[in-house]
Amino acid sequence: MEQLRQHLDIDRWLLFGGSWGSTLLLAYAEQYSDRVSEIVISPVTTTRQSEIDWLYDGLSRFLPKAWEQFRAGVPDNNSDNDIVAAYARLMENSDSKVRIQAANRWCAWEDAVVSHETDEDEQPFSSGSLNWRLSFVRIASHYFSHGAWLDENQLLRDANQLIGIPGVLVHGRLDLAGPLKTAWELDRVWSDAELIIVDNSGHTGGESMRMHVREALDSFAD
């Protein structure tokens, strides 16, 4: 990102992103705070190990059937009992059939996580092209199996680097994939941020979340 900013000859820029993009922009902003003018995040995640564990294990308490199907994609000899790392290994398998099956099971789980937010027949992950599914799962499982190469709580710990940067955090109360707690914790350690909680939205957002995001972006454009 910093190389891109330099290439485009931008002095300071507004950062906007959500989900994994939230993690990426926070990591960037904490390292290059003097190059960031404002930040808008929707939804908020920091890719802590606890967040990864929740998404790919803890949610089994809410979606037991879907999680059993997700877990069934992992070989019985998964000695480290790390489902994300196991999928990362499957995505490196030399057999394309193994990679495709793993990608399909992973995407089916992602669809289940947001199923309460979408139409009954909508499958935002599984409906992607085969190349997209393979790429998405390979990248996601690789990054998440390494904790995104971040120390646990690193982005919250270093949030003092964001002081002086105005920010707006828009997060849905119904977000199962990335529970509100992370946005709440970030808001508490980032004094220049405003947290907007949208009661009727989840991880994928909705018109209410989009409205708040537009308002935040418009306010910084003035």
Q: What is the rounded average pLDDT for all residues in the chain?
A: 95
- The full DSSP string for 118-162 is S-TT--TTTTS-HHHHHHHHHHHHHHHHTGGG--TTHHHHTGGGG
Q: Cβ distance 14 to 39 under 8 Å?
A: yes
pLDDT digits (tens, 9 = 90+) for 46-76: 999 999 999 999 999 999 999 999 999 998 7
Residue 45 has pLDDT above 90, yes or no: yes
Whether 146 sits among the annotated catalytic residues: the reply is no
Q: Could you tell me which of 15, 56, 48, 51 has the C-alpha nearest to residue 156? A: 48
Which CATH number is associated with domain 2-48+151-221?
3.40.50.1820
C-alpha pair distances (Å), 69 with each of 107, 109, 131, 210: 11, 8, 22, 33
What is the Cα–Cα distance from 4 to 77, expressed in whole angstroms? 43
Out of 19, 42, 141, 201, pick the active-site residue: 19
What pLDDT was estimated at residue 81?
78
Q: How far is CA 73 from the centre of its chain?
A: 22
Residue 21 has pLDDT above 60, yes or no: yes
- Band (pLDDT 50/70/90 cuts) for residue 122 is confident
Out of 158, 175, 187, 212, pick the active-site residue: 175
Whether 201 sits among the annotated catalytic residues: the reply is no
pTM: 0.93
DSSP-based three-state secondary structure for 210: helix
In the chain, % of residues over pLDDT 90 = 91
Q: Could you tell me which of 3, 6, 31, 21 has the C-alpha nearest to residue 159? A: 31
Out of 141, 158, 203, 212, pick the active-site residue: 203
Q: Where do the structural domains in the chain lie, given as residue ranges?
A: 2-48+151-221, 60-149
Residue 157 has pLDDT above 80, yes or no: yes
- Band (pLDDT 50/70/90 cuts) for residue 206 is confident
What is the Cα–Cα distance from 91 to 142, expressed in whole angstroms? 9
Mean pLDDT of 11-40: 98
Residue 80 has pLDDT above 70, yes or no: no
Give the single-character DSSP code of 60: G
C-alpha pair distances (Å), 163 with each of 172, 193, 195: 24, 9, 15
Mean pLDDT of 179-193: 98
Whether 135 sits among the annotated catalytic residues: the reply is no
